[in-house]
A and B are shown apart, each in its own frame.
Chain A
């Protein structure tokens, strides 16, 4: 019996106390199932909800050893301090640019790759290429950056040799702020293009083959088929994923920026998340760092709204 179906009539017949009795009966009937979900609920409450409440330290003067609510309230002091700090514009620029370039250069690759694979007939060849392209997804960021550092060793690293061939350089590229963004984005594309193509391949495989059949009858050539059948049918998937990416444009992950950056390149490599780590964890300014993180979340939401509105306006695709 579906509990929901009887919930409202029960409420009508017996009033409020009947409603609670009904709730209690439903609850007690599933008592054993409730015991099973209890550890999961406790986990979510402790490790997801308590940190959420803990964001309130952004508005207090938190000192180590205190509980979340034991610190004195200071209002927007940390936000003001951050907006006036010399790091504010640099962090905002670095984070937004890195996120923006990653989408601009990184987003088209998986789409292009999926389209190429879709045009390919040989099954074994296709599958081999696909398998190979997923591999870097499973390798840790530490190893990706470790490989990058190793391959860029001046004098003997294979990438250094290649770069040096085109633009003679003796300096370590990793200590040069100009090179941080290109290295970050190229390695990012290398690591993710295969894996990110999965969604597009799934969308491509659901295109009705009869469409191609009938267009061929009408004399459409291959390019026309791609242009008027393949592309329109994956457009909703592409746009939805693009909105999601746009929404996280200023949400540059900590791990990679932290591992690839170093003090010599902070001019371009220091992003909000790495700054939160340095000021918060390393220097112990917990409240200030949380305020910086909260500011980051706020701009994330703004970007998500902008992307969604634009998409609704021009393409009638939106997340909500």
Chain B
């Protein structure tokens, strides 16, 4: 899996590309945690190029969300494809994260 980060309207955005599965999720966890521990209290995780996510990936997102909440910050997600959306609904994740269609919508009012 690949990651790119950029800053838009002074908010950090990390884009995840490929698959978040049992083998790759550890790399994503390290990178996301670095961004949170680095003092970013607002973080957008852009999933436009994420093919699919398994439970290992969901656990990484959940643990990042907890870490961010401890720092009184917020994580927003955007760009979920239909498969990722379905997995979120099956597992109840759509009730845990604020989810937006696009990066611009996630930035709006953040």
State whether these chains interact.
Answer: no
Binding site for B on A (CB under 8 A): none
